[in-house]
Structure 1
Amino acid sequence: MIKAFLGTGLLGSGFIRAMLQRGDTVQVWNRTTARAQALETFGAKVCSEVTDAVSGAGRIHITLKDDASVDEVLEAARTGFAPGAIIIDHTTTSKEGAIRRTAYWKEQGFTYQHAPVFMGPANALEASGFMLVSGDEAVMDGLKPELSVMTGKLLELGPEVGKAAALKLAGNAFLVCFAFSLRESVAVAKSLGMSASDMAGLFQNWNPAAQTDARLKRLSGEDQDQPSWELAMARKDTGLFLEAAQQAGVPLTLLPQIAPVMDAWIEKGFGHYDWTVVGRDLA
């Protein structure tokens, strides 16, 4: 089966090289053709026209920027679609966009399957990481063998169209906050005369990421009146973070926004509850 791949950025190039290593015939297109030409060395057929890239392809994979670029490129390519072609979109998009495209392309006689990933370029090349799918279970069953070889784990999320898109965005929100949390921790450490390497040494022995699952369960649980760390005490420590940073002239991003939320919950009478009570309104 001929495959098309639209978008040859870092992630797309990794996927394409892996497909070629598995013996697939891959026709590729990129908005800037010169950026795709390096893939010819690995056996890809580079096309300057997107309609040529999708011509005869039973599977059309996409890794682009956003909803607008996916819509634009698919509309430009549609006259070249082979009958029965399946579109597999790995782009991180809005939930609404994924739902709309699924319905729209079905009306046009084609299958659109959103399959966003928690994968970097190295993961795409090595077939590691995670790929998410949701929607028509018959479609997912048919694509499972093909998609499974592209990733370390294929997460099947059930029949709700758009669920994969939603959880990918929520997961990315965690990654963004995680990076900023590390930045904030290093900033507090710096204000106290410590360095990033000191923090790295601490985390080599104490891994707070291991607490993620338990913290999420506690955040949405009903036992927050049995604290392991009282909100009032967490707020006290937050005051120490802020004071140290202010005295050292080190700017903080998250903690100044977190403190008022803690104060609001304490004012509502939850100071002696577990500090995770701040998530109760979202549970």
Structure 2
Amino acid sequence: MKAFLGMGLLGSNFVKAMLQKGEAVQVWNRTAARAKAMEIFGAKAFENSYDAVQGADVIHVTLKDDATVDEVLATASKGFKPGAVIIDHTTTSVLGAVKRTADWKSRGFTYLHAPVFMGPPNALDSTGFMLVSGEQSVIEKHTPALAAMTGKLLNFGAEEGKAAGLKLSGNLFLLSLTAGLADSLALAKVHGISSSDLLTLFNNWNPGVGVPARLKKITEGNFNEPSWELNMARKDAGLMMDAASQASTTLTVIPAIATVMDQWIAKGHGSDDWSVIAKDSL
């Protein structure tokens, strides 16, 4: 039997998927009504977290942050079955994940951090990506169940906390991507171009396809064979900022990138590939 603590959009859909597969699941949420709402799908809801985990071999957690996870688990632990396994899907800090792994192990319980790149529809359909790292015997034991919850389970080895770090790195890229799209939309508007036209461009020319190749180029340090010279990229950034300024429009990402470009040009890298601006991140 499983318990699930945290009935937000992600957690509730994870539970619905488990129930559809015939599993017995006990649920809890700080706002009790959210847990109660899961009973129509076959879950058993509890008002107290320590009651929700009674008899559970595996306790899944999808909460807000490190502090919330620590608080909820501390309370719920009064009802933990000896040797229970805690699987935490919350996006947390690396240090938090490492500390919880050690702390719960010292108390006779297994804690495995398994953050996800999954939205609520993915949780319901068992698609998307789940990340794990840490003690490989633990991961091997729980791989079948975790793999059934997601489209692909990615095991990043024995280093505790690596999955947490990769989740944060991935989320950083998503935040940067959205900010970049906001700048693209703003610049398109300056030029009288509709968002639908911009979507047509990206539907046909998909720059996302080139992300792995670009990352490979950066990590290999291959900057002296440019596909787009830094000087030329900086010239284009200037055109973007000039157009935005003339229309009294604020760009969020490009001015910051232009500042970094200027620093690298000043160091003599103007003829290198523009991705040289990422060199110090290696």
What TM bracket, shorter-length normalisation?
over 0.9
Query: Matched residues in 2 for 1:193 and 1:91: separation?
Result: 42
Gaps of 5+ in 1: none
Matches within 5 A, 1:146-161: 146-161=145-160
Instruction: Name 2:262's counterpart in structure 1.
Output: 263
Residue 189 (structure 2) pairs with residue 190 (structure 1)? yes
Counterpart amino acid of residue 264 in structure 2: W
Report 1:16-165 matches (<5 A). 16-165=15-164
Deviation (angstroms), 1:35 = 1.6
Distance in 2 separating the partners of 1:194 and 1:40: 49
| Segment of structure 1 superposing worse, 196-205 or 135-144 | 196-205
Do the aligned partners of 1:134 and 1:156 also contact (CA within 8 Å) in 2? yes
2:19–2:42 Cα contact (<8 Å) kept = yes
Q: How many residues align?
A: 282
Alignment-derived partner of residue 273 in structure 2: 274
Query: How far did residue 249 of structure 1 move?
Result: 1.4
Does the 8 Å contact 1:220/1:279 carry over to 2? no
Partner of 2:248: 249
Which residue of the partner structure matches residue 170 of structure 1?
Answer: 169
Q: Which residue of 2 aligns with 1:199?
A: 198
Once the two structures are TM-superposed, the CA of residue 221 in structure 1 deviates from its matched residue by 2.3
Matching residue's letter, 2:201? L
Distance in 2, matches of 1:179 and 1:223, equals: 27
SS in 2 for 1:270: coil
Tell me the secondary structure at the aligned position of residue 150 of structure 1. Answer: coil
SS of residue matched to 1:159:
coil
Contact 2:225 2:272 in 1 (8 A): yes
Is the 8 Å Cα contact of residues 4 and 59 (structure 2) preserved in structure 1? yes
State the identity %.
59
* Unaligned runs of at least 5 residues, structure 2: none
User: Which portions of structure 1, spanning 4 or more consecutive aligned residues, are displaced by more than 6 angstroms?
Assistant: none
Instruction: Write the letter of the residue equivalent to 1:220.
Output: T
1:6 aligns with 2:11: no
Distance 1:157 1:42 in 2: 34
Deviation at 1:104, TM superposition (A): 0.1
Equivalent residue for 2:217? 218
Matched, 1:236 2:241: no
Q: CA RMSD in A?
A: 0.7
Write the letter of the residue equivalent to 2:66: D
TM-score by length of 1: 0.99
